Each structure stands twice: as C-alpha cells, then as structure tokens.
A and B are shown apart, each in its own frame.
Chain A
C-alpha cells in the first residue's frame, strides 16, 4: 500500500480557503486517493475521492496533478466547525488485502 505524507498540523482563520497537500510518491496505477475527516471522539467520515485531475463536491475539491504523486484537498471558506483531523489515503480497493491504513493525518485548527 502506498505510503502518504501530510503536514502534522495547519492553522487557519474563519472564511479562508485551506489547502492540505498529501504526498504519495509510490502511488500505483490502480490506486485512488481518498480523504477522510475526523472530529474528536467520532469515527472518520469520507470527504472526497479522486483518481486524476480535479474532483469537486459540496464540501471540498481535490486537485491531483498529472503525475499523481501528490494531491491537495481544498476546503473553501472554512468555519470553526471544520476544525478536525484530515487523513489522506491511497489504495485500489482491489484484491483481498486492502487494509485501509490511516496515517497520522493533518490537524486543522480554525480560529475566529
């Protein structure tokens, strides 16, 4: 399973756009990139998934360059309630051994 590297923490202010970058240099051809959000004492929640270029949904955008060795989660106009840990995962969901490994994640702290 491809290893991912993210910043340990980031600070932002309400109303700003936040971009969290994840490095995954060893991503395989069949791997997808998935981001999860976790609030304290709650289970992680799926945010967005992509394979290449740009994906946008109602809560975030995911930018993936052509070489797919990194990805950037973009949160528009964050609020205090976006304070959470954000995890980047890569995997293909194929075969019998996808362990859905979570790394250390990025703790985003949004201030007023």
Chain B
C-alpha cells in the first residue's frame, strides 16, 4: 500500500459526460501528479500541483482540469468525454518535487475509466 488513495477504482460513463476523479496523497506529501495511461500511449504526464498551486503541465487536454485543495487532496475533472479518454488514470504524491534526492513519488492504484 503506497498510502495514496484514488477513488473510484472503476468508472463507466457515456460519451459527452463529465466525471471527477479524486486523489488523497500520502500524509505530509505536498506534491500531487496526475497521469493517464492507455494501451497505445504509455504513461502520459498530465499535471502537477505543489501545495495547492499548479506547478507543471503536460499534454493535458482543455477538456480536462484539476485542482489541489487546502487539505492537499486533488481532483481531476474530465468533461465532454470521448471514447479515446478511456484509460487508467494515476495519481502520485511526493514530499517535495519528485526526481531529486530522496524524493520518490508514490503512486495510487489508479482509476480505470471506461467511456462507452
């Protein structure tokens, strides 16, 4: 158990709908990262927050948005869903900005989104 909690674990929804994925980071971690992983695209970085502020953006679609709340949990909002948005969405957290010395990122188990 990484200590990162993602809900829901599975989500099935129709095209055109909007969903919200939730992530609770490990206690004490200030950074939250969101990733999308589909079969043909690998692990794609979407966005990073640090202590409530957006810090880095990847190839996140305009239909997607995220935020990190004062209690440090984060939500990823996906709207106007398309079939191609079906994927595993992972959240990760780290104490600081991961990648440097002793700043590993801990990943949740992911939310599997299926758009039908």
- A-side interface residues toward B, CB under 8 Å? 30, 32, 34, 38, 41-46, 49, 51, 87, 89-105
Contact = CB atoms under 8 A, between A and B. Distances in A.
Interface residues of B, number: 31
Contacts of B33: 100
Interface in B69-116: 88, 90, 92, 96-110, 112
B48 A100 contact: yes
A101 B45 contact: yes
Contacts of B103: 93
Interface of B: 2, 4, 33, 35, 42-43, 45, 48, 50, 55-56, 58, 88, 90, 92, 96-110, 112
**DSSP majority for the A interface?**
loop
Contact of B92 (A93, A100, A104): A100
Contact of B102 (A49, A87, A91, A98): A49
Nearest to A103: B42
A46 B106 contact: yes
Contact of B99 (A45, A87, A96, A98): A98
Contacts of B105: 44, 46, 100
A51 B58 CA distance: 26
Nearest to A42: B109
19 contacts: A32-B99, A42-B109, A43-B92, A43-B109, A46-B104, A49-B102, A89-B99, A92-B99, A92-B100, A93-B99, A97-B55, A97-B56, A98-B56, A99-B48, A100-B99, A100-B105, A102-B43, A105-B42, A105-B43
